Every structure is written in structure tokens, then in C-alpha cells.
Structure 1
Amino acid sequence: MLDRLMDARRLLTPRTVAYLVLGWAAAWFGVMAVGGGSSWHFFLQGATALADADDPVNGGLHLYAAAPVLQIGPLTFLAVLLLLPAGGVLALLGWQILGAAAGLLLLWMVRGLVPRWQRDDAWLALAAGYFLPVWMFLAVGVAHLDDVLALLLSVGALRAARTGHGWLTGLLLGLATDAKPWAIGFAAILLLVPGWRRRLAAGGVLLAAVGAAWLPFFVGDRGTSNALRYTIQNAPVSALHALGIDDPRTPAWDRPAQLALALTLGALAVWRGQWAAIPLLAVASRLVLEPGGNKYYIAGVVVATVIWDYAGARPFLPWWTMSACLGLFVARWMPMPAVLHGWALIALFVSACVLLSSRRPFESTTDESRPPGAVIGAPALPPRR
């Protein structure tokens, strides 16, 4: 059986794989576009208010003080403004198309996380089969442009770090945080930059990018600090609720704990040579303490599992991505007790932490000159039969 599967994979040329992935993406775009854009009103509200600098109460730099519910970064609102002159409906459609394309670009960047001799397009296409429905729900179904940008920029930062581009790593992480604040949890990627001086420089670029985007709002209106204390409902499907923390809204300690856990586990992943696990640990750390229960959160999980499956574990099948799609995303439409969804997120976190139990030789950058079979932190492909 395995021999037949391997023979079938050899028949898939890169062009055939590309057509299959594009067709699958187009099909899911069509499915999610019907009634899609359910969260677009938040982005229209924020972008319109940001552009209205003459409004002394709600507009311009008063945006977050007046509407702390908009937990969306200013970079995202600026991106919305780029297409807004075409009208709200066309702007939505434009960003749905661009968001869908971002998913394909993200897969291409994941492909580049390993040297050429370790790449397997047919394998990545199989992982894309489970990744794309979840991504299209995020980018097209709910149209959460902030998460799309944050995930795309964070994966870009991971690739920049793998190729030794320190300042670019810091810039992309900063822009990701400017798009969606929770992206700062990926900051452990900075540790992949070779050399302490370059890491510090990359960290400085990150802080500068974040400060340039966010400080004007805090200086322009002291009430912006209210956005830092904004809380959301503790949903019955959340892992926080399953852990017995039944506060009706976000506990005061929750957000700092998410960040501390993500950075600590990310640093441990680097120390253990498991660099490909950094996104998975960051996302799992967020969701295990996340009071919200939105389905689109799972898009961050499948992005991280594709990275781990392809650049970290490389099993015969992308088990992590398959499990995340079916067990965390598809399961949300199945009739079952709400608490089971919370326990599934806890299982994700525990499983991600188990990855740290093994150690691999660490190398922060890709090395195209090494022959097949050399160990560089991501395993070589299994031998073909």
C-alpha cells in the first residue's frame, strides 16, 4: 500500500501539483465567499475612523480610546484604506482575493524554509488540502484581514531568520504586531538570527516598528490605554473554561500570561533545536489561555502545523495539519458538548510541549550546499523505495 502511494506521488509533477492546489483554493474561495465577510464591518469602522482625523472624539489618534473593541492594529486599517476608495463592497472583495492569495504565498514561504533537496511539493500539496479550507474561512468567510497579515508577516519573519536576514526579521515581526497585537508572541523567532549583535539589532528594529505604529495613539489620547484592558467573554468552548477558570470575561492576568508562555516555550524550542515548533508553541500558548471561542482562531493553528509537519517532523502524512483541521476546525460544526472543544485545545498545547522532549542539532539558517541526508535542524525526507 505504501509503495503504491509513493509511486502515485512520483507521477505528480510540480505543474500538476500547482494546478491541484490552485483548483482546491479556488473551490474553497467560492464556498466561503457566499455570505462571506462577516467581520468586515469592524474593519470599515476602524479604517473610516482612522481616516477622519478632524473628529476630536472618535477619529484619528482617538480611534482606540473611543472604540477599544477594535483589537486590530493600525497597519490593518491602513491596508483597508488602500482599497476603500473603490467602495466598501469592492474593498471587501479585493481583500478577500488578496487574503486568499496570501494563503498560497504562505505555502510558498513554508516550502522555502528547508533546502531544495528536502522539498517535496506533492507532500506539501497534501498538507495544503487541509490547510486551505481553514485559511479560506479566515481570509474570505470572516475576512479577518488583521490575522491574515499577522500570520503572513510572521511566517515571512521566520523565513528571513532562517536565511540570516536579521533586520528584515525584526521589521516583519514588528509589522505583524502592528497588524494584530498578539503576533508579538512570535518574537522568539528573533533567536534564530545568527549572532547576538544581529539579534539585538533585529530586536531594536522590532521595537522601533511597533513604537512607530502604536506610540502616536498613546501620545495623542491617554484613553488609548483603555484598549489594553479590554476584555471579552469567556466562551464555553474555550480551553480557559475547560481548565475551570470560569471568570465571565478575560482575567486580568490572562494576556500577559499568554505572552510569557509563548516567549518562554519559543526560547526553549530554539535551545532544543526545534526551531520549526516556534509558531506552533506560540499559537498553542495563546489558545490554551484564550477566553474567546472564534472558529477563525484555528487558522493560526494550521499555519503552525504546516510549518511543523513540513519543516520539523516530516512524517509520511501531515498528521498535525490533518488533526488540526478535522479535530479543531471541522469539529466545531459537529454536535458535541462545548467543553470537548476546550479540551481539544488543551491537548494541542500539551502535544506541542511534548515536542520539546526531543533535541536536534541546531542551525539557524538554511544551507543549500549540504548533500541530502545531512542534518540541519529539519530532517531529510524519508528514503524513497
Structure 2
Amino acid sequence: MTTSGSRWALPAAPPPALRALLRHRAVLLWLAVAVPALVCLWGGWVPGDWVFFSQGADVLLGRGEVAPWQLYAAHPDVQIGPVPLLLTAPLTLLPPAVGGVLACALVAALLPLTCRWLELLGEHWRGPSPWRPATTFVGGLFAAIWWWRLGGEFAHPDDALVVAGGVAGLLVGARGRPLLGSVLLGLAVSGKPWAVGVLVLALAFPGRARWRRLLAAGAAALAPWAPFVLLDPATLPALSGYRVAVWSSAPLALLGLAEEPVPGWVRPVQFLLALGVVALAVAVGRADLGPFLAVAARLALEPQAWDYYFASLVVAALVADVLRRRAAGPWLTIGTVLVLYDVRWLVDDRSVMGAMLLLPLLAGVVLLLPDIGARLRLWTSPGGGRAPAGAAA
């Protein structure tokens, strides 16, 4: 990890005191999320969106006013995929305050677990590095600034499961089981369709049959929804017809859509944008930026601007930090947190806040530009079109 001749180079390995601290990084990361979240829940307060999990689970468990397969037709406002609903259904059988606290603890546990999987993914993707645990730990601490709100304030274990499931899929695929990894990516995306761009990362796994992996990921993403769509034809019209108002602090407000129902074209364009930018990242050998671009595309065309959206973006930035080819340190993660946190709390202009949500997508594209230029030169050179030996997917 050292660079010869550079006085700013890192030592070959972390110092003993830091290594001793890193041995407890899983517990420290869990506490960094759990403590502020549980303080937020002190006194029996139920986190904001836990009611949607309870409502959805009641229907799926046969305790609702409609049949289980009519869930999304009757309640299109339950914007949670079937898999997260089923995984969290046991918690909804408890009193709301108790179930909400346990859901918060689950969300807290998923951050250190995801960071550990990221360390293992980095070893398979880029090789061993003694500094990688420090990178994931420091990046995880910055991610905790937004992650605790995901569990304690809003109760969105579905978003946390999408992030953890996506990293698990990347790890399994990188370990030599690309088809299974692709299926895991698809199941993760099924929980929150805004993550659709992550499906393209199935093309980045080593080995042949790339398009078969992409089809497997797509099929896994659609499969959990199939019973609802096939058994109740009203499901798709209900979901596609559900409209929320565009916030004045959302990027869409810059188009003059503030306080209006979100137009029907937004979701398809959002999905195409996410698929396109992630496909571009994979094509130029920067699959490490894929998750960041997938979430950034979501933010750029999201009609609302809830704070918990940033939790997914920050962990996606940490994926890029862990997997990038050169340098050490969670610099994209830290920059993302500082910009989003400071601007959001210090600026009171809603149009500025809306424009700010475009910054992650712009930053991701800018980071791609050197690789796009290099790939274009390769393709246009005599005998071009072939990636150099050992190029990363």
C-alpha cells in the first residue's frame, strides 16, 4: 500500500493500535447505528413507515380485508417488495413499538454485515489489502450518519435489505458462482424496484454466458411480483396509477412540476437512466461505480426527497471506494456524506436542495470520463476493441 518516493504514502499496514480497534469494528459500527436510532425510539415512539410493513404483512398473512394476492391492487401505497415484507412479517406480529425497535436493530446489524461482505468482495475483486478493514470501518462510520435514520426514524428495513442483498450478490458472483450471484442481485432489486440498475452488474462477473446471467437476474427480480400480477389483473394498473406529489425540494421541481402529481413518464425514464449509466460503467470497466450510479439515477428523478434515500447512496459510495483500482480510503463516501449533510441542513433554498440531488449522478459520470476516454481510444485504435489482458470487468 505504499508508494515509493511519496511522503504521503500509507505505511504497509495499520499501526498496532488501529489494528486492535479494527478487531471490534462490527460491534462499533452496530453501536454507531443502534444507539442514536434507539434514542430516537425512546418512550415507545413507532418509526414513521412501520405502519406500511404492518399493513402489508397483515394482508400477506391472511389477516387483511383482501386476499394476499390482492395486496398491491388494494394498497398501491405499500411501496415495499414481497420479499422484504415476508422477511419482516414476524416482527409485525408484535406490538408496534416492539416490532419497530427490533426492525431498527435489524437495520443496524445490516450495516456491519454489509461492510464485512464488502471487505471479502474487495479481496476477490482487487486482491488482499491490510488497509481495507480500515477503509470499510471509517466509511461505515460515515454511512451510519444516515443509516441510523433508515431504521430509527423511518423504519425502512427494505432499503437496508436491498443494499445488503446487492453486496451479497456481488460477493457470491465474484467468488465464482456468477449465476447464483445474479439471482441474488435480482432478489435484492425485487425489494425496491428503484434499484433496477443493479441488475446490469450481473454482466461484470467473470466467465461466459453473460446474457444468461442478466436474464437470471431479471427473472429473479420479477418472480416475487408474479403471483400478484397474474392472480389479480388490477395490480399493474394500481401500481402504475399511484401518484405522489412532486416536492418543491426534488429535482423534478426544477422542471416546473412542484406540488403536482408525478407524471407517468418519470418511472420508466428513471429505470432506463439507471440501466443506462450502470451499463456504461460496466462497459468501460468501472463496475465498482455501478451501485453508486444506480442510486444516483434514482435520486435524480425521484419525486420526493426523503433523508433516508441517502443511506443507500452512501453505502454505494463505499462499494466504489472499496473496489476501485488505486488509492486507499473512503474518500467518495466521506465526500458524499459531507456534501449531502451540510448542504441539506445549511441551505434553506428548496431549488438549491433539488439541484443538489443531481450532484451524485453528475459526480458519478465525471468519475467515468477518464475510463470512457481510454476505452474510446482503444476502440478507435488499429486492432482496437480488445481489452488489455487483466482488465477488470
Please give the TM-score of this superposition, normalised by the length of structure 2. Answer: 0.84
- Aligned counterpart for 1:309 among listed residues 312, 316, 321: 321
Q: Distance in 1 between matches of 2:17 and 2:245?
A: 47
- Aligned counterpart for 1:177 among listed residues 178, 186, 189: 189
**SS of the counterpart of 1:83?**
helix
Superposition pairs of residues 147-226 of structure 1, within 5 angstroms:
147-197=159-209, 199-225=210-236, 226=238
Relative to structure 1, is the Cα distance of residues 192 and 205 closer, same or farther in structure 2, using a 3 angstrom cutoff? same
2:378 alignment counterpart: none
CA contact (8 A) 1:154 1:183 kept: no
Superposition deviation, residue 187 in structure 1: 0.9
Superposition deviation, residue 241 in structure 1: 1.7
**SS of the counterpart of 1:234?**
coil
Q: Distance in 2 between matches of 1:137 and 1:341?
A: 19
CA contact (8 A) 2:321 2:328 kept: no
Q: CA RMSD, aligned part only?
A: 2.8
Q: Distance in 2 between matches of 1:88 and 1:59?
A: 23
Are residue 278 (structure 1) and residue 286 (structure 2) matched? no
Which shows bigger deviation, 308-317 or 70-79? 308-317
Superposition deviation, residue 9 in structure 1: 4.3
Superposition deviation, residue 282 in structure 1: 0.8
Q: Distance in 2 between matches of 1:200 and 1:3?
A: 44
**SS of the counterpart of 2:304?**
coil
Are residue 26 (structure 1) and residue 69 (structure 2) matched? no
1:328-385 CA-to-partner distances (Å, cap 9, x unmatched) read 13543335211222222212211111122122999xxxxxxxxxxx97649xxxxxxx
1:182-201 CA-to-partner distances (Å, cap 9, x unmatched) read 2222111111123442x333
1:366 alignment counterpart: none
1:291 alignment counterpart: 303
Superposition pairs of residues 62-101 of structure 1, within 5 angstroms:
62-101=70-109
Q: Distance in 1 between matches of 2:51 and 2:269?
A: 30
**SS of the counterpart of 2:160?**
helix
Which shows bigger deviation, 285-294 or 332-341? 332-341
2:369 alignment counterpart: 357
Q: Please tell me the residue identity of whatever aligns with 2:175.
A: T
Q: Distance in 2 between matches of 1:7 and 1:243?
A: 51
1:44 alignment counterpart: 54
Superposition deviation, residue 279 in structure 1: 0.5
Superposition pairs of residues 46-61 of structure 1, within 5 angstroms:
46-52=56-62, 58-61=66-69
Q: Please tell me the residue identity of whatever aligns with 1:112.
A: L
1:229 alignment counterpart: 241
CA contact (8 A) 2:173 2:179 kept: no
Superposition deviation, residue 5 in structure 1: 8.0
Are residue 263 (structure 1) and residue 275 (structure 2) matched? yes
Q: Distance in 1 between matches of 2:70 and 2:9?
A: 62
1:346 alignment counterpart: 358
CA contact (8 A) 1:312 1:377 kept: no
Q: Which sections of structure 1, spanning at least 5 residues, go unmatched? A: 363-373, 379-385
1:137 alignment counterpart: 149
Superposition deviation, residue 229 in structure 1: 2.6
1:371 alignment counterpart: none
Superposition deviation, residue 21 in structure 1: 5.6
Q: Which sections of structure 2, spanning at least 5 residues, go unmatched? A: 1-6, 42-46, 376-388
**SS of the counterpart of 2:313?**
helix
Q: Which has the higher contact order (CA 8 A, sep 6+)?
A: 1
Q: How many residues align?
A: 364
Q: Please tell me the residue identity of whatever aligns with 1:221.
A: D
Q: Please tell me the residue identity of whatever aligns with 2:35.
A: G
1:26-70 CA-to-partner distances (Å, cap 9, x unmatched) read 1442212233422111111111122126x5x53411111111111
